Amino acid sequence: MTGADMSGNRAEGRNEGPLERADRNMVELLQELRVAQTGVQILFAFLLTLSFTERFGDIDDVQRGTYVVTLLCSVLTAGLFVAPAAVHRVTFRRGVKAETVQLGHRLFSLGLGALVLTLTGAVLLVLDVAVGRPFAITTAAVVCAVLIALWFVLPLPMLRRARNGNGVGNGTDDGAGTPPDGRETPPARMSG
């Protein structure tokens, strides 16, 4: 039996069945979302207040466009980060906990991508107004690259090792279950 056996047997390395695993994965996902949501909410509030400042009337068309795109990206980011909780609420006790966790993972991943754009736009806007466009563009590009590297590139070697069976869990996630990329068939419907 592997850690990914979803037939109702206990997963290797943990004394939990598929429903317990799905419950744990949902709790972990929601805890991670709480961390991200707080920052997005603060950034969104900051962006909303900018348009009501006296200096906002002095910005040029490029800065105004950057502001609008960044504000809309922050709305999209907040929506993507809230969506897993909303999906969980709608699907509560419908027997689709594992599928809800998978969808929540995908929405959170998209939210992280949108957050890269939001933070890059915010840096571009603030630095363009504060110190000038050339420095702002360069710094925003560096910020974008660093965030992509930290959030999306850094985990790739671990994923490659896990796929090749060379990782700590011999190719399985310590928590077992269906990988987020859907390589395995999800379990039959569970209550949750």
What tens digit of pLDDT does each residue of 124-181 get? 999 999 999 999 999 999 999 999 999 999 999 998 988 887 655 444 454 444 455 4
Residue 24 — φ and ψ, nearest 5°?
Answer: -60, -45
DSSP code at position 72: H
Do 28 and 177 touch, CB atoms closer than 8 A? no
Domain count, the chain: 1
Residue 178 lies in a domain: no
Residue 113 lies in a domain: yes
Residue-level pLDDT at 11: 47
Do 98 and 26 touch, CB atoms closer than 8 A? no
Number of H helices, E strands in the chain: 5, 0
Residue 101 lies in a domain: yes
> Three-state SS string across 81-123, please?
HHHHHHHHHHHCCCCEHHHHHHHHHHHHHHHHHHHHHHHHHHH
Residue 151 lies in a domain: yes
Who's near 172: CB < 8 A, 6+ residues apart?
Answer: 2, 3, 4, 12, 162
Would you say residue 190 has pLDDT above 90?
no
Residue 4 lies in a domain: no
Geometric angle at alpha carbon 123, from 118 and 125, rounded to 5°: 95
Residue 173 lies in a domain: no
Residue 190 lies in a domain: no
Q: Tell me which residue range forms the domain holding 22.
A: 18-163
Residue 85 lies in a domain: yes
Q: Can you read off the two tokens belonging to residue 163?
A: 């796929």
Residue-level pLDDT at 180: 52
